[in-house]
Amino acid sequence: MARLILTRLALFVPTLFAASVILFIAINVVPGSAARSALGVDATPQAIMRFEASNGLNRPLAVQYTEWLGKALRGDLGTSFQNRVPVAPEILKRLPTTLELAILAFLLANAIALPLGALAALRHRGTADIAISTLATILGAIPSFWLATLLVLIFSLRLKLLPAGGYTPFFDNPRQNLTQMILPAVSLGLVSSALLLRIMRTTMLEVLNSDYIRTAHAKGAPEWIVITRHALRNALIPYLTVGAVEFGFLFGGVVVIEDIFRLPGIGSLVLVGIINRDYPVLLGSALVITIIVLFANMLVDTFAGLLDPRQLRPREAGR
Amino acid sequence: MSAFADYSVRRHGLLTLGVALVAMVVLSAVFAPWIAPYSPYDLDVAVMLEGPSRAHWLGTDELGRDVLSRTIFAAQISVKVALFAVGVGLTGGTIIGMLAAYCGGLVDMVLMRLMELLFSFPAILLAVVLMASLGTNVLNAMLAIGIIFIPGFARLARASTLSALQQQYVEAARSIGMSHSRIIMRELLPNVVTPLLVEAAVAFAYAVLLESALSFLGLGAQPPEPSWGNMLNTGRGFMAQAPWLSIVPGSALFLCVLGFNLLGDGLRDMLDPHLRD
Amino acid sequence: MALPPRDRAGQTLEIRDLSIAFSTPRGHARVVDNVSLSIGAGEIVGVIGESGSGKTLTALAALGMLPRGARIESGRILLGGESLLDMTERERRAMRGDRVAYIPQDALRSLNPTLRVGVQVGEPLVVHRATPWNIAKRKGVDLLAAVHLRDPERQAEEYPHQFSGGMQQRAMIAMGLCLEPQLLIADEPTTALDVTVQAQVLQLVREIRREHGTSIFFITHDLGVVADFCDRVYVMYAGAIVEEGPVDRIFERPSHPYTRGLLRATPAVHGSKEALVPIPGQIPLATERPEGCRFVDRCAFAIAPCRSPPPWVEIEANHRALCVRAGEAEIAA
């Protein structure tokens, strides 16, 4: 077991570095853009040169990256071009909000996907399957920001049941916090559930067609035992591995949803960064979100490995 | 037996629906100047924020522009972006994927690791970061989205190339001394194209979605140019008085994405039946 | 639910005129065509045939576990005198794993990869007798010992992928034996194993018959195994039984051209001196069977009357074949 976890961790670290390189390159894809953006269209060439010099932007990229990386590893993600405030503490402050949104949406998505996907597989080609598959197709086509808008229209404006935005930290007022998080989490979670539902349905179908399920039936086990004791765990393993791809979509959605509901998370910080052309802010927040996604991927992958005896205890030689 | 038949009838029905929706969008984009009752830029301050009426079937926006016309013209942006982005992704991805499969070894490993990593980035994030440097307008949105699509297509192209490479005819071609580039063009390319088409359909849907999200955030098509995304964004501000400003472009977006998704699913069913249940 | 007392006087399994069909896009496919067979208490009965002969489907029908799309068009299946087809699904389920057990071909794929072997082997106790798990697991260990696994205590805690092929097959047998069934249906249990392991597994099955009086429905395509092992044999071809009889009589005096063909194509049986003679042609699709005798297109002995449905011909006591020329000296040669 330790070996499994360690291998996953060992792969994780270089992936993080590679990701940071990619982000750094992406943001510097067009040279000189940082200065021009910060200073505006009518900046004089001298002003640009001064800006670049004072911010160290005129050195080779590799050097810039190394310096940035060095600082980042010590927890320093630079200071905002705009207001000269350090970036890292701001990100840290916003972290709980983003995590709360992501976790709630994730839980909701799975709460929908797992039972419905399994049900669809069990009633393959029956009415339930058709209905559920159609639902998945429709949900998968709805843009999360449109769903959010519609939900606000109905539940905030018309029914006046839920707030249209704003955020109170959980520990200040749990009830208000959760009420504020309902619409954001539902917008994100419902749309995420579509892909996960399809994945669950597919893996469950494969499992239900395998020989060991036939054995379970041949032992005279009733359907609910076949499902719970034999099918579920085996279906969960590939579900987790394949479904991990949804994290990327989920956190992409976080950026938009935080904007709509005015949630002070890292996602909205990304937007602040791009709108103000504040490169350290943008780079810092994009990096942190990417780290979270990669970390979540690694967690899920490891968990799937732990569930699978074939990965946990590989067959020893000489049996 | 009838359950079996019903199921495949349904599948065909869905594919037809997908084709119909996509056709509607594409035709709207192509024939917009002729179909739309008004120009998307025609202001008429006298009728701003009015609900659906005989003159304006889907109402007007905050500057008195006809929502129906703007929605139809907005299809142009979506189709343009989708075409361009998928084009970039398809071309870049196919080259990288086929290269990786053909060269094998270290080249393959490095390229594929890179693709895998790019794939796990949240797409919007990568797009935003790229556009910070490139600039925030529709053209750069197309470019950014295209770049984001490269890993997905590369992975597919590589898989198809690998299986095609194992076929006999490549051995035969090599044995008669065909040059490498000729082998790629004549033998490998045709077999790689089919699954890529399926992927392309789904990618179109995602491209439209991404472009709309970027426009919604103010990073893509800029007003007054109409895009479903930025129409939704403006509509946000008038939700109480003019809900149709949010409902109409959103529905168009939804139907467009749905259409491409159904098309992709249908194609996949038709071309690769053993992948299905 | 109380089951009626076991009927040891009559046949353990009796199948009469069973026909099973599928509806395919190519038409109506009767994959099992009027098959009748019976297995008495303590008998080992072999059902031999190539893939596609319908033998596995017949066995699955006896379990009440036909795949989706298969329909029983006619016939009766009696288990210990009780009609399977008249039972409710609940009653059938009560019987599966308890009175009749199934041992499939591919043991590795038939074992749940995420459950320990001991748990899977003892599971029938929990399902049918509501036994608490700790006792069922204990029984699992005992069963693994009964099938001669070397270290049953430890091995019961392991997972299927940690077992070798032979061990996996034995675990499947142990699972089948758990509730001491009247009938064991073994579907090519030795096909995937190498010869030495095969011999051990067969030895084990013989032991089971000896100690428990279990009847065995043994499906195989390997004549060599049948020769050593079975009391009686049914030869199936393209969905129908074409010859049946005691095993030594079948080998001594094959009376149907297909049986003859099988013998001449099998190395172990045929003898090393003469060359192996494969049967030309292929099994016809269930949707494209010839009128009359289904073997006619591949038969070296075909004559004009073969275009009509062949009759059953009694060769000797309990030995008959479905052929107009059954029993002729040439065929037995």
Portion of chain A with pLDDT greater than 90, in percent: 51
Q: Cβ C95–A212 below 8 Å, yes or no? A: no
Which band of pLDDT confidence, cut at 50, 70 and 90, is reported for residue A317?
Answer: very low
Q: Cβ B133–A143 below 8 Å, yes or no? A: no
Average pLDDT over residues B232-246: 89
pLDDT in the model for residue B204: 94
**From CA C294, how far away is CA B40, in angstroms rounded?**
75
pLDDT in the model for residue C28: 82
Range name among B7-11, B228-232, B238-242 with the lowest pLDDT average: B7-11
Residue of A208, A212, A311 to mutate, interface with C, max C Cβ within 10 Å: A212
Average pLDDT over residues C58-64: 90
Would an 8 Å CB–CB cutoff place A231 in contact with chain B? no
pLDDT in the model for residue B210: 94
Residue type, B112: M
pLDDT in the model for residue A201: 95
The first and second tokens of residue B30, run together, are 């192509």
Q: Cβ A212–C159 below 8 Å, yes or no? A: no
Question: ∠ CA(A125), CA(A130), CA(A134), 5° rounding?
Answer: 150
Would an 8 Å CB–CB cutoff place C91 in contact with chain A? no
Q: What is the 3-state secondary structure (H, E, C) of chain B?
A: CHHHHHHHHHHHHHHHHHHHHHHHHHHHHHHHHHHCCCCCCCCCHHHCCCCCCCCCCCCECCCCCEHHHHHHHHHHHHHHHHHHHHHHHHHHHHHHHHHHHHHCHHHHHHHHHHHHHHHHCCHHHHHHHHHHHHCCCHHHHHHHHHHHHHHHHHHHHHHHHHHHHCCHHHHHHHHCCCCHHHHHHHHHHHHHHHHHHHHHHHHHHHHHHHHHHHHHCCCCCCCCCCCHHHHHHHHHHCCCCCCHHHHHHHHHHHHHHHHHHHHHHHHHHHHCHHHCC
Interhelix angle A144-151/B228-237, nearest 10 degrees: 20
Please count the other Cβ atoms lying within 10 Å of the Cβ belonging to residue C53: 25
Our measurement of the distance from residue B104's CA atom to the centroid of its chain's CA atoms, rounded to an integer in Å, reads 30
- To the nearest whole Å, the CA of B178 is away from the closest chain A CA by 38
Q: Cβ A210–C109 below 8 Å, yes or no? A: yes
Q: Is the pLDDT of residue B227 over 90?
A: yes
Query: Which chain C residues are Cβ-neighbours of A217 within 8 angstroms?
Result: 65, 96
**From CA C137, how far away is CA C302, in angstroms rounded?**
58
Question: ∠ CA(C123), CA(C129), CA(C130), 5° rounding?
Answer: 80
Q: What ipTM was estimated for this complex?
A: 0.89
Q: Is the pLDDT of residue A247 over 50?
A: yes
Average pLDDT over residues B226-235: 93
**Domain segments of chain C: what residues?**
11-99+182-332, 108-180
Query: Which of helix, strand or coil describes residue A306?
Result: helix
Q: Please name each of the domains of chain B with its CATH number.
A: 2-275 (1.10.3720.10)
Residue of A nearest to C125 (CA): A219
Q: Cβ B247–A150 below 8 Å, yes or no? A: yes
Per DSSP, helices labelled H in C178-282 are 195-212, 223-229, 247-252, 257-264, 267-270
Would an 8 Å CB–CB cutoff place A22 in contact with chain B? yes
CA dihedral C325, C222, C65, C11 (to 10 degrees): 60
Q: Cβ A234–C112 below 8 Å, yes or no? A: yes
Of B49, B52, C222, B130, whose CA–CA distance to A283 is shortest? B130
- To the nearest whole Å, the CA of A210 is away from the closest chain B CA by 13
The first and second tokens of residue C99, run together, are 């009175």
Portion of chain C with pLDDT greater than 90, in percent: 35
pTM of the complete model: 0.87
pLDDT tens digits for C152-176?
999 999 999 999 988 999 999 999 9
pLDDT in the model for residue C333: 65
pLDDT tens digits for C12-32?
899 999 999 888 777 788 888
pLDDT in the model for residue C51: 79
- To the nearest whole Å, the CA of A157 is away from the closest chain B CA by 7
**From CA C36, how far away is CA C241, in angstroms rounded?**
8
Query: Which chain B residues are Cβ-neighbours of A283 within 8 angstroms?
Result: 129
Query: Which chain B residues are Cβ-neighbours of A27 within 8 angstroms?
Result: 129-130, 132-133
Q: Is the pLDDT of residue C219 over 60?
A: yes
Question: Which single residue is written with the structure tokens 């009415």?
Answer: A127
Q: Cβ C113–A222 below 8 Å, yes or no? A: no
Average pLDDT over residues A201-225: 93
**From CA C224, how far away is CA C270, in angstroms rounded?**
9
Q: Is the pLDDT of residue A150 over 60?
A: yes
Contact partners, residue A119, CB within 8 Å, separation at least 6: A128, A129, A132
pLDDT tens digits for B83-99?
999 999 989 998 998 88
**From CA C257, how far away is CA C298, in angstroms rounded?**
9
Q: Which residues of B259-274 are buried (b: 16+ CB within 10 A; e: fewer)?
A: bbbbbbbbbbbeeeee
Interstrand relation of C319-322 and C240-246 (parallel, antiparallel or unpaired)? antiparallel
Q: Are C128 and C98 in contact (CB under 8 A)?
A: yes
Mean pLDDT of chain A: 88
Residue of A nearest to C61 (CA): A218
Cβ burial of A120 (10 Å; 0-12, 13-18, 19+) is: buried
Query: Which chain A residues are Cβ-neighbours of C161 within 8 angstroms?
Result: 309-310, 315
Residue among B120, B123, B254 whose CB faces A146 most closely: B254
**Can the peptide bond before residue B224 be classed as cis, meaning omega within 30 degrees of 0?**
yes
Q: Identify the top-confidence range among A24-33, A91-100, C69-78, C297-306.
A: A91-100
* Touching subunits for chain A (3+ Cβ pairs under 8 A): B, C
Which band of pLDDT confidence, cut at 50, 70 and 90, is reported for residue A262?
Answer: very high
Fold assignment, C11-99+182-332: Rossmann fold (3.40.50)
- To the nearest whole Å, the CA of A280 is away from the closest chain B CA by 11
pLDDT in the model for residue C268: 61
Going A274 to A279 to A285 to A291, the CA torsion angle's sign is: positive
Please count the other Cβ atoms lying within 10 Å of the Cβ belonging to residue A199: 22
Q: Cβ A146–B14 below 8 Å, yes or no? A: no
